[in-house]
Structure 1
């Protein structure tokens, strides 16, 4: 561990001089202990796991005719516009009665309140349509809202030109 080496001070005269001792500390055990502690903490630490949301996409059928038709009473269409605006209406754009488009945001009192109010419909299908000026963050936000509200049936589809005209009327 630590050694003390005595230096012999040879000198003349009859009076012996005090011996000067130099100390030398061996740092090898301290380094070993440091590496053991470092290894221990690295091995016992849990690393941050990435947070992901699983999305199951449907397999494309060979013939598209087998798709079931969606009733307008079971549809909720969400259009994601620019500046964090969310346009929504109940039904489909080709319904006989023109749907009333409403504007909201991504807050808890915004689109979440709308989704929670409509969640009682077991056959509810939410059609998510990102508009051209919508952002990726808005897409993540709406998928988070779908997860928070527990709505499992939704589809991400392209914006219809009729939807764009409905949004222009509201703006």
Structure 2
């Protein structure tokens, strides 16, 4: 009778990995082929252009003061309510702006403030803010 030689653990148990790798590659090919690539529907966004040169200089807004007696002051001069449009258009010709600030005293009648706002909007300024000065 022949005796068996003791063999090392490496010689006894080996698993052949080739069939498993074949199956993995076949599955990979299957999933790539069966996957459908659909272009998603979306909205196009129109972003405004970046104007760095215009951001450096501050925009000047039209400043109008109305005191408690209803006198309108534009640029340090007293102005009649009917002349607000002309003065605002003159200011717009000299300065590129779309904003105006009306500073009214808290005792000023609301009708005068509303009339000045209407005159400024007629002149072509859309963004008008009203500030109330309290004493």
TM-score when normalising by structure 2: 0.49
Would you tell me which structure has more helix in proportion to its own residues?
2
Report 1 or 2 for greater relative contact order, CA contacts < 8 Å, sequence distance ≥ 6.
2
Which one has the largest radius of gyration? 2
TM-score (norm 1): 0.39
